[in-house]
Amino acid sequence: MPTNELTKDDYQLTLFDALLNARKKYGGKHIVLEDIERQPISYDRLVLGSIILGKKIAKFTAPKEHVGVLLPNVNGVAVTFFGLQAYGRVPAMLNFSAGLRNIKAACKAANIKTILSSRRFIEQAELGSLIIGLEEAVKIVWLDDIKESIGLGDKLSGLWSAKMARSFYKKQKGGGVGEASKASDGDKNKITPSDIGAILFTSGSEGVPKGVVLSHQNLLANVSQIYAHTKWHKGDKIFNPLPVFHCFGLTAGMLLPILRGMSCFLYPSPLHYKIIPPLIRKVQATVLFGTDTFLTGFARQASKGDFESLRFIIGGAERIKQRTRDLWREKFNLEICEGYGATECAPVISCNTPEHNQHGSVGKMICGIEHRLEPVKGLDEGGRLFVRGENIMQGYFRVESPSVLEPPKDGWHDTGDIVTINDEGYVTIRGRAKRFAKIGGEMVSLAGVEAYASTLWPEHTHAVVGIEHKTKGEQLVLITDHDEANRHDLSAWAKTHGVPDLFIPKKFVFVEEIPMLATGKTDYGELGRLAGK
């Protein structure tokens, strides 16, 4: 049952403490992880594997070092994540689809000297050239080699530490974090809930990626907030195809089920539309996370019985289109619960639930979040959303000043989103502040114009950007995969629906496919280049 409250006991601890608490509460034999190899991992195995791997990593890293993690959604990414936690290292989750330039920028911003990866993954994903480029700036350590180096002595030592995990971790938290640690450094190496728990990175679609610094408390608070927001069942199995370098995939898709006695199935790519639906049926998943793009792909390829085990679907990261809702409702009798978040908020801010689902909104705010709306000149409705709470990041790391924390002013995070909140508390996103164009003195929502095109041509995908115009300030450009889209038809639709002609793009750009980021978000940086920005 949802509790609608955030208790300090749930988040005033470290991530590894939270894992040990979950093992004690739900039982060491409880299965919490599974992936495409179909070798389930229990709490006992997760703790044991984390301690053994973490000790190996601690030999060539320093206490509190930011260690890059370049891995897909497999069991090994969870073991690596908690292995770093066990010895007081900080996992920095790198987006392997971001390209060499952006990954190098991320490494510079967070002062990452070492990246953990897998040869098997790099070969299968054909990322060899990326690794060659990264090796110019950082050291790549292969987890395949570490695994081969684990001997009987490592396993026996790990078994003892895992059995005495509380005592083992108490020593690590006190500053005894690795063989290279000196006694005199103990105090500064102590691990506390307010220390950095993980570093994630903004997409870089609107510029160079920034490091988002999340403490143990930030992540655990958001896990508690999500858990309190709706009804979860102990037997729930979350199917998570969203990469864990994306905060939604990490917090909701991996940490929530592991730390709350459920289980998660990690799948390495959300783009496998034909493979995922029958796999959901096979593993009997009850909850699915996805973006509008991915959910549409799953639904189109699925057979009717593939989703019979699902209790509900949560969609985020991009707006859920009405055609996507209709497809899921008509084909599978399932409703999508749309949510909203930001990496800086660890990430969930609000979400619809099966019990309270208002279409068009992104649900009610989760517990423990303060908010305020600041007026935006030129807009009569809504305001720019600022939020504050235990889940709000410690701050940014920027390329210009690596590892120098830039905290949010007075704890308030500027989401950059224009929203309205109705009397029932439902939040509706009107658009990003950056995604409004000023045309002839009018503020035009680019997301709104995209919605007009989607209404007229629902079977296709559309995106709108604003580019500079000599006399009107800005000009709208529609980028679409529909080669028969034209301004005449869109203007005629607008006229019959009371939409001013000012809101209709004059320039159309046709592409085979709208460029997307690996997270499922539209790549507006690339779209700007296509539009001639």
- Three-state DSSP class for residue 31: strand
Domain stops at, among 389, 419, 449: 419
**Whether residue 106 is found in the same domain as residue 22:** yes
**Whether residue 67 is found in the same domain as residue 145:** yes
168-182 residues labelled b (16+ CB within 10 A) or e (exposed): bbeebbebbbbeebe
pTM higher than the cut 0.85: no
**Whether residue 383 is found in the same domain as residue 449:** no
Strand spans (E) along 186-229: 196-201, 211-215
- Pairing type for strands 395-398 and 401-406 reads antiparallel
Q: Which tokens sit at 522?
A: 């539209």
Domain of residue 464: give its range: 440-531
Flag whether 96 is in a domain. yes
What pLDDT digit, counting tens, does each position of 185-210 carry? Answer: 657 788 899 999 999 998 755 567 89
What pLDDT digit, counting tens, does each position of 168-185 carry? Answer: 888 887 766 554 445 456
Per-residue pLDDT of the chain (533 residues; tens, 9 = 90+): 344 566 777 788 999 999 999 999 999 999 999 999 989 999 999 999 999 999 999 999 999 999 999 999 999 999 999 999 999 999 999 998 888 888 999 999 999 999 999 999 999 989 999 999 999 999 999 999 999 998 898 889 888 988 888 888 888 877 665 544 454 565 778 889 999 999 999 875 556 789 999 999 999 999 999 999 989 998 899 999 999 998 999 999 999 999 999 999 999 988 899 999 999 999 999 999 998 888 999 999 999 889 999 999 999 877 888 888 999 999 999 999 999 999 999 999 999 999 999 988 999 999 999 999 988 776 677 788 999 999 999 999 999 999 899 999 999 999 888 889 999 999 998 776 556 665 554 556 677 777 778 888 887 888 887 776 655 556 788 888 888 888 888 888 877 776 767 678 878 888 888 876 655 667 766 777 777 65
Please give the DSSP secondary-structure letter assigned to residue 158.
H
- Closest to 5 measured CA to CA, from 341, 389, 323: 389
pLDDT given for residue 2 in this prediction: 46
Flag whether 408 is in a domain. yes
**Whether residue 130 is found in the same domain as residue 260:** yes
**Whether residue 415 is found in the same domain as residue 444:** no
Q: Which tokens sit at 303?
A: 């057979």
220-240 residues labelled b (16+ CB within 10 A) or e (exposed): bbbbbbbbbbbebeeebbbbb
**Whether residue 367 is found in the same domain as residue 446:** no
Flag whether 428 is in a domain. no
What pLDDT digit, counting tens, does each position of 124-164 carry? Answer: 989 999 999 999 999 999 999 999 998 898 889 888 988 88
**Whether residue 334 is found in the same domain as residue 237:** yes
- Closest to 393 measured CA to CA, from 369, 412, 416, 371: 412
**Whether residue 379 is found in the same domain as residue 258:** yes
Flag whether 85 is in a domain. yes
Flag whether 326 is in a domain. yes
Flag whether 383 is in a domain. yes
**Whether residue 335 is found in the same domain as residue 404:** yes
CATH at 178: 3.40.50.12780
Q: How many domains does the chain have?
A: 2
**Whether residue 146 is found in the same domain as residue 220:** yes
Flag whether 126 is in a domain. yes
Domain stops at, among 370, 385, 419: 419
**Whether residue 370 is found in the same domain as residue 491:** no
CATH at 469: 3.30.300.30
**Whether residue 25 is found in the same domain as residue 91:** yes
3-state secondary structure 414-472: EEEEEEEECCCCEEEEEEEHHHEEEECCEEEEHHHHHHHHHHHCCCCCEEEEEEEECCC
pLDDT given for residue 478 in this prediction: 85
Flag whether 432 is in a domain. no
pLDDT given for residue 78 in this prediction: 96
Domain stops at, among 351, 385, 419: 419
pLDDT given for residue 207 in this prediction: 62
